[in-house]
Structure 1
């Protein structure tokens, strides 16, 4: 018995020693970028009821925390002004863990489905325009770091997820989110500070997958039993709540500057409720992060010939703009001009650099003080009918790019039948006149309001006009 008791003591001691070393989530690893000039959270696991000490290379301060009964701990540390100096952080409960090669800069969180996920190296059936050049020159982008979160579903909120920070080089860059990388590249170029991107995306995911159970349970058209009955073998993008639990929740302690969102394709058939759910998602994420009114910038889903009725995507885009209009500190970029005619059936259009640039223009204008950078596409404001001509006005209109033969316009009379229309711009009145010989008494105008209809109306800063309709005719897809 004495020998047995001794072996138990030795085994217990070994287990204690093995677990004594502080355990960190994978997102808190070497190469990470921390948000500058603020308080950031560090967290992890340790032996229960243990004092944790944190020391940073940029400060003489010592930060302490106490692990709770489950071994969880968290500490807030101050970060300095951004620069390119590699730093380190020591975290100890008696045995020190060091996080090396830390940069201080700006951190942005990217999420959504496959168009956000789409890497610089492209997909097997879709290329990223300019991606190979960006990969070839990646070694020059020393101020960019990217953490790509591995797809993981879960029934309940998790504490940990898989995904570590990678430096920008030719080996790592092919796997970087293209939209996220080009956003980071533009910010890095203009702000001249390190930029960190956390890419937490899942191709084909529906918006309900990124919301918690307590929200989704009230959605009449969502079957929560799919989440309850699913497991690792059959988790897929259409299962509700699992991305929120398995990928998003473990990251909400990480201090970020803002959020970029590229999603909606998976919800085109549920466009009628999308604006409400998008509004809920933004509010929920801001609440969960606890960082106030975080900037939240969306990407309009691109033209694509979806099966079925020809307007489902147009109504989804309308819902995206409706959600943005409801929310503070929120914006959206238009992508109608970023698709080539031969991409009619390509749901992953190749021009991700312009997507990243336009998202960066939003952030630069609204969050970093570059007010002279144009960032908002003109959106429909109102319409007047003058004889057989509809005169349309817009918000966010600075001017027009040129006088030309405009495409993408349609006009309808009282019969609600839309016909291709001609259009003419007026810089003096900042309006667009629309007409057709087939419509004598216009009642409605539409611009690029189909699944796939490309327009060429742009501002004098080169930003496309957002797709719109002046009517409130019900969707044929309802």
Structure 2
């Protein structure tokens, strides 16, 4: 088993042989009520002992001939009491301090998940200054480990990245989406939340898959256009390169016990929407098999409106593919964001409203993972339609409380056999639940769409203000 010692840490005695991956550091958050993995290097073929301050049990395992070892410890219920763990072999010991037990989620994807509270150049995060200023209040409530951008042609055993507590000095580079997800989770569950931020701006779904999977796809269907990794002029890996992030960033942390995955990605795959759903489903299966924790929850963020070019529907088609993936992936879900941009952000791939994105992910998790069914996480979603002369009546799932606003609804379009879409007038149907749409320019409509464009901000919501999910009835 190849090991990069640069990614290992070991302190406490100068002779200590015990070495831990950097993700096992002071201030870490362990998943509550789990068999949480610990692993590392020690003297070859020696006994490794582990003692925690939350229990009396001593755990032990024998390292293999190369010194590799792994074991799991039973964690208690979540709380704000700091613990420590001491790991020792015949040559010395290492103690991890200020450990919390809570809920641990991995934040994966590309730049909109990576985007920190400090924002990117010319791309601020709304409300971030206050979030950073007050972040010290969450020192024992939200913690994060950032896995740095690390590409590799082969799977690695270690990667850099240590746990950080929330403070004005550190929170600015915390993932903004993850931060707001964690804040709401902490507020509702009253437990510490740990975030494993593992993402790379511009990455494709194929970047997070192993070689044997990616090489089974036709080369010309990859966003990079080639199996081989690409390099920038300075030698740095190009972000479209396949497999390198799986090898260099994800594989090394596969032993870290999680509660679930959050995923915000798809922009780079917008040119190949027809392949995305199945490839994302494959990625989730690969990840779940790698972690060995069963069907861990996998929650997506629907891509925000953005002008991709072409015929004006590239973004709509990749968002549609994201939803198709949910149908293929057990224990998964997706949140809608087509109302979370400002008109001036039509050509801004990094919209600033990350607070609502993180909060909606938390509502999804609270409902689906934590059993709080009273938290709605999805607005009205297309169910069926019926053509009645020059009108189309549409019915929806999640229509319990009707719709808002009552008038000036935008985003609906209808088309006839000529497949030319025109903006539609909208009125409420029977019982204020169905909607009726029509256009004077389409006397015989055959199809209806809602916000099925690259950039079309929706203003129609349902229960508790959650937006209507974009849809189309045609397959053109």
8 Å CA contact retained: 2:278, 2:328: no
Does residue 386 (structure 1) correspond to residue 382 (structure 2)? The answer is: no
8 Å CA contact retained: 2:16, 2:94: no
Does residue 432 (structure 1) correspond to residue 432 (structure 2)? The answer is: no
Shift of 1:382: 1.4
For residue 464 of structure 2, give the secondary structure of its aligned residue in structure 1: coil
Deviations 1:74-109 (A, max 9, x none): 011000000000100000013110000000000001
Partner of 2:422: 419
1:286-365 matches, cutoff 5 A: 286-365=288-367
8 Å CA contact retained: 2:103, 2:259: yes
Partner of 1:166: 164
8 Å CA contact retained: 2:117, 2:125: yes
8 Å CA contact retained: 1:401, 1:461: no
Deviations 1:367-418 (A, max 9, x none): 1121111112322221110111111112233221331210011100111100
Match of 2:97 among 78, 100, 107: 100
8 Å CA contact retained: 1:400, 1:427: no
Q: Against the structure 1 CA distance between its residues 439 and 228, is the aligned structure 2 distance closer, same or farther, given a 3 Å change threshold?
A: closer
Shift of 1:233: 1.5
Q: TM-score, normalised by structure 1?
A: 0.93
In structure 2, runs of 5+ residues without a counterpart are 1-12
Q: Tell me the distance in 1 between the aligned counterparts of 2:428 and 2:119.
A: 38
8 Å CA contact retained: 2:415, 2:448: yes
Q: Tell me the distance in 1 between the aligned counterparts of 2:48 and 2:20.
A: 12
Bigger radius of gyration: 1
In structure 1, runs of 5+ residues without a counterpart are 1-16, 474-478
Does residue 38 (structure 1) correspond to residue 34 (structure 2)? The answer is: yes
Does residue 112 (structure 1) correspond to residue 112 (structure 2)? The answer is: no
Shift of 1:454: 1.0
Q: TM-score, normalised by structure 2?
A: 0.93
Which aligned segments of 4 or more residues in structure 1 are displaced greater than 4 angstroms? 17-20, 228-232
Partner of 2:214: 216
Shift of 1:434: 0.9
Shift of 1:304: 0.6
Deviations 1:442-476 (A, max 9, x none): 10001111110111110031000111100011xxx
For residue 436 of structure 2, give the secondary structure of its aligned residue in structure 1: strand
For residue 229 of structure 2, give the secondary structure of its aligned residue in structure 1: helix
